[in-house]
Amino acid sequence: MSEHIKSEHVMSSKMYYGIWAALMCLTVVTAAVSFVDLGPLNTIVALVIATFKALLVVLFFMHVKYTSEKNDQGGNRIRDFLAFYPAGSQSRGLHDTPPQLAPCACGLTCDILRAALREAIS
């Protein structure tokens, strides 16, 4: 069926429950650890746990892990944004080609260097 849109991958509910359990545990851990005197480490531990929890939510609940593993057209944000190809190669570029802020900057730098080299040699 043409309904098979790429990111329509259904993740197993087990995985969601696993992430949920991890998040709950981390919540308890972070609250408990705050009562232990670790000196200046307390803040660091709290923030590291918070960041880890946030990552779990972003990667699994918000599906970023999945969408950045597949990489067809569209959908993938992170790798597309950082993907590298010279700005000169214009063969790509239908309307659904991914964003290219970073690639353009990189490609541009590349072009400049190449041109500078050419000028220097000739």
Partner 1 sequence: MFDNFPLWPTAASTGAGNVDALYIFLVALSSFMCAAIFTMIIVFALRYRRRKGVEAEQIEGSTVLEITWSAVPLFIFLFIFVWGAAIYFAERTPPRGATEVYVVAKQWMWKLQHPEGPREINELHVPVGRDVKLIMTSQDVIHSFYVPSFRIKQDVLPGRYTTAWFRAIKPGTYHLFCAEYCGTMHSGMIGQVVVMEPNRYEAWLSGGGTSGSLAANGASMFQQLGCPTCHRSDTQGRGPNLVGVFGKPVHLEDGRTVIADEDYIRESIVAPAAKIVSGFKPIMPVFQGLVSEEQLNALVVYIKSLSPPPSGSAGQPSGLPAGAELQQPKE
Partner 2 sequence: MSDSPGAVETQKPELLHHFSSAEQQRDASTFGMWLFLATEIMFFGGMFCAYLIYRYWYYNEFAAGSRSINIWLGTINTAVLICSSLTVALGVRAAQMGKRKLLVTLLLITMVFGVAFLGIKGVEWYQKFEEHHIPGNSFNVDDIIHDYPQIHIDPQHEQIFFSLYFAMTGLHALHMVIGLGIFTFLTYKAWKGVYSPSYYTPVEVGGLYWHFVDIVWIYLFPLLYLIDRKPLR
Partner 3 sequence: MAERETYLNKEYGIRSWLLTTDHKRIALLYLISITFFFFIGGFFALLIRLELLTPAGDLVQADTYNKLFTMHGMVMVFFFLIPSIPAVLGNFLVPLMIGAKDLAFPRINLLSWYLYVIAGIMMLHSIVTGGVDTGWTFYTPFSTAFSNTKVIEAGLAIFVSGFSSILTGLNFVVTIHRMRAPGMTWSRLPLFIWAHYATSIIQLLGTPVIAITLVLVVFERAFNLGIFDPNRGGDPLLFQHLFWFYSHPAVYIMILPSMGVVTEIIPCFTRKRIFGYKFVAASSIGIAVLGFLVWAHHMFVAGISLYSALIFSLLSYLVAVPSAIKVFNWTATMYKGSISFTTPMLYAFGFIGLFTMGGLTGLFLAALGIDVHVTDTYFVIAHFHYIMVGGAVMGYLAGMHFWWPKISGRMYPEWLGKFAALIVFLGFNLTFFPQFLLGYMGMPRRYWQYPPEFQVLNVLSTAGSTILAVGYILPMIYFLWSMRYGEPAPDNPWGASGLEWTTQSPPTTFNFEETPEVTWEAYDYEHIPAPEEVPVER
Contact positions toward partner 2, by CB under 8 A? 3, 5-8, 10-11, 13, 16-17, 19-20, 23-24, 27-28, 30-31, 34-38, 42-43, 46-47, 49-50, 53-54, 57-58, 60-62, 74-75, 77, 94-96
The C-alpha angle with vertex 101 and arms to 98 and 105, in degrees rounded to 5, equals: 130
| CB-based contact 64:78 (threshold 8 Å) | yes
CB nearer partner 1, residue 15 or residue 112: 112
CB of 87 to partner 1, least distance (A): 13
- Cβ atoms within 10 Å, residue 95: 6
CB nearer partner 3, residue 44 or residue 79: 79
Q: Does 105 bind partner 1 (CB under 8 A)?
A: no
Q: Does 82 bind partner 1 (CB under 8 A)?
A: no
Copy the structure tokens of residue 107.
Answer: 């490609």
**In whole angstroms, what is the distance from residue 102 CA to residue 82 CA?**
6
| CB-based contact 66:72 (threshold 8 Å) | no
Q: Which residues bind partner 1 (CB under 8 A)?
A: 111-112, 115-116, 119
